[in-house]
Structure 1
């Protein structure tokens, strides 16, 4: 896998100039307030946003993770890799290592889980952490915005975030303001006062003989830091006042006429040749300008205060102020011929690529529309881009090339489709698949010898897209069958492992599991055979097909066959050393043991699996399953202990916790949790989770004596479950059978078409699985049976507590569990089962 190139220029706090003005009135606003989660410093360019924060953290000596953002950071994986890397570094923790396995997917649920895991790691650190994201206005990726919202809203108390921006941010500012989470520093507060302006000039040994001139500069600049600096640079010229009268609208012209043109020609050439660089390293500047004194030039520019910033790093690294860089780039294209500019662009990009920073290199080429070379380098680094997870960057690049009306290669387009599918942009992926199918008709591109490898991948992609959306599996079967008949063609992608599951406890929650949509077995079996009985049998997709099959067969209540598929999937999972396959299988295996009351075996299996995995999120999934087993066993205290160890916002944890709340008699809180999970699952169309949450919602409503609401929730669960034949999600909840019977009665007596949407045959199939009364009592633990026996004898809660040397509160908990297992909601109904 490609190693991330960490650019020190992005992660170092800009160095504070020794003659900078101390702004104590603003420092007071920045002083620590534990009630605040985020500080936003917003103002147009040149108001000193970055300078203020760098001054504050330099003088306060507080630990800070600093990230200077640029356009290349519009990729969620790249963005958060930098944030996690910085935080891990300043906190001297292993957070980056703990989260490393989660940086391989741009799917929304994966990214959400990444943030949850990061927040959990931050909450475990004892030190305070400050995170600065400078120039956040350059981030235009909505996914990153959503992740930032999630990050800030659940931020632990020991962490504060600082954002600088030129523009209004697409974040819920009003909400954060109402909740008192937000500090804001605006343009008005950043404006220099008369005293600060005077101090600025005195620190630079510049003196106005007439205070009226100082007042005029302050009036015309309106306290704009850059304008005040420009006035200082031109203080010895007669144009000071005239220029400052129009410095805002003509800042570029002023920078060029009054700053650049006053410098020696060799220095001007140096500035123009290096203007495309985001960070200025003397060695790189030497190569780009064919000189050996770049370090001296940069120091001299800094000494003169010419809009250059030195970064705090072991090696000398500088950067131009954004306004200055923009002005230089404009002048570059005016002063030099197109051929010369192209040469500088390519030379700059080549130097960056040679340093290993191909991301920045390609960005420069695309910005300057050097499309052919950009595509060539994109193709060269395509495998690295995919293995590093930075596919959002790739999407943006391809969109830029296509917007430039550049005809990209078929390999780039096919990998673009794969990327779109991976981030669930199925509609856009479908359009591109149609485009390439049409081009096959008109151009016969798939028949060309040089395209055989990528054409074969395209066929696989078409089949995978069908699987991902749960579409016509017969069409997918035809595609794979044709591919096998034509013979598979090798390509450079053959040895790149596909990671189908980064963190889900169920394969059925992933794209390869069609997010819980099942096909009829008569259609699914021929498709599975194509993988299991052909040269595809050793493919990763084949391994996951066994896992998805095991979960599907269990859900349909074909237990014996499910166990066979499960064991084969486990063998594959260990063979590939892929916890994304073997962890869900161990969870399913433990679940089957627990449903058969083999709790000792279930816990032993989960404990042994915990011992062989390192990733914390997998350990948390296994602990959550242990909690589920303890609840089935009736051991509420142990269940709560396990859940506390594995706390998460993942639906698996939330629904097991809802069951715990139910067992403790807190049906209202359980109901809130299940509705929250169901709502999100509906947004993501996670069928298995929708059904599970709706079933639990119905049980909660019934526990609260809300029968109508319970029937509506159950109707929703059945409506989603019937088309795919879900069984075990219903039957594995002991309290569901009475609800199903009530629902069937409502359906039979109510002729409203709404209720007849669920086939009666499906309902009857579920009810036919009702356990016998004997097996219901067998589900009770020995202690619960003692409580139940005394209950049947007519003992009160106090009498039961005294007889068993327990508290009345503990007896109430036991009774809640007993009622749940017996599928009743009162003492009177429980006594009837004896």
Structure 2
């Protein structure tokens, strides 16, 4: 009896896409092998290809066909189904013989049909059911001797036991593996477009494909279960995490249940591991043929893959591993021995693989042994969260091991959690003294340098410098780590003290020493600090190169999750903000938030500050207000480095200015930071924050005095960026004090310096206050060409047209409003100025000088002097400054 459906081409799936790329290169190859685990679309690929074949034999094999008689019967009948072929002798032979000799049978068959010169294709689907070596031998004989115009295509979950090396050398073998059968992003999109009629989030769709390694069965399951966008997202997330009952059922029925009990137990035993080799399998499963068992699992399509041709290491597909872990929980007698697994990895000196199992074991002694042997390596490689978990597990046992206390202190330092370091070191020193614990030379050397780190975090620069210098003089020569950290502290201290060249040199030494010790975080920190120093000196190209070098090392050593990564991201975000590229700045801020969020909310302050600055520049009050609230809350709750406080105060003052919240500014000024000297960028910023507050409160003399002091400090330390910012702000103060010649001089100095610093947004931000000085400089023919070019560029950024006359406020209509206003000064109300005199007063208010007014009005300068004298006499004014004050008062009346 023959079941006809086994010899029929399967009906194509309704919801499938044709992937011509898969079988495109089969060409005239004699044999095609499609080998992949269940659910990879092997049958679908062959069905699509077979649609165009005129003479096709199809045999769908099942487990009952692993029988010589049954297999040969179906095989001959499948070919006989082709209309152009007739083989009665071969059909009679398989009918008469219960156990035919396949070599004789196939010899007869090939001889019988030799008269037919017909190119045919034979497809054997699900060949993995064939285990009988006699059948393998027969098919090998058939392939070797079949006509050259014939092709055979075999699909199997396992690599068939057929000799194919000779065909491969002759280029007569065509192979497709699971890697080729996996869906690409484009195929995934085409597939879901065919199967669904709703919107799909491209990112979620791509993440799904990536998480299941393009496994078609998983994508098919999502398409079946998804009814709309919401269910698609939900299902894609579940399937992507291999956390769905239907997926588990499929893997159980199609893969796991087909394995023998010994292999099932082996799989469940090794399921917790990310990768395995024969030694680990032998140890965990207490067998001596681990290599053979691993290769057998691979051959049987158990979603386990050899990492190289030598088959030393094997890994699971992620979705199958998750299934196995689920199976472990529901299988009696199976319990993962994480302690044993961790110690196996430790014996192989593979710390990264040992660590997660050690954590799962909750075994205190195992954790202590791991930290004693590999704690510093974990610290240098950036496994800070895992180290934190380790210290949580060992709890008070840590006090018996001073070197582990030291490790925890450095771990907290790497996380920049200085507020935790000081309490821990005080507690440790008290316990060591109480228990009379003997400290090693390493611990004795390193505790002082940690004290120096605490000092610099608290802004005690001189104390930090002194302690670091003392440490370098007294430490043992072999304490390289202490040497590196002490020199880094000295670099930071000299940076804060304004000695930038010396600070740079210390960080250069840190880089050299840390490179030799593979202390990647110290190297990255040195690059970042040097970038900040170069930026302060306006060496922007080199600064950017150092920041890029830091990011490159972070990527190279996979340290993107450390808070250290936020520093270069903030640097680039600040640079983008200064250049007016707010979209890039916002993107970088979001990246920084993603990095720092796991380390506590205190880390968000600087990023929130940058985001608030961006929102203010975009005049987005709705976005700014909640950010300012968060900044205020964090400042009240946490202790922060002076640099972050300076930046946060800057944005707070700027926000209060936009809201005209004078009370908030006055209240802030009462307790504002007052640096003794401003030898670094953040102390400079602290002073400028106070200056802006003074300006807003109208205390311009204090603002001017502090600005002059700030400039002197910045010049002494060669902080060119800070000198430039101060000069721009000083020009604003000059304008408000009506010191127009001084304003022009300082703005010119700021413009000349900006050729080095590259500052632009600072000029644009103050353009409203400096418009008249800008215009006067634009008329100055004595300016250098480069300065004129710079000025023209800044004017264009500020939207100022030098050829467009300033708006004169005192038009005939506005004069009527002023004179009718109840609060108009009596002198103005009673003394009538001529229209010409009102026009002159308006030009004085707009900032024009006498020669400019004369030029605009087309009269002689002496005539203008006469008009101005008349205005002063009529209104009782002593000079131009008094005229400006009165004009400002009158202008406010126009708008009321």
Give the shorter-chain TM-score range. Answer: 0.3 to 0.5
Of structures 1 and 2, the one with the larger relative CO (CA 8 A, separation 6+) is 1
TM-score (normalised: structure 1): 0.46
TM-score (normalised: structure 2): 0.43
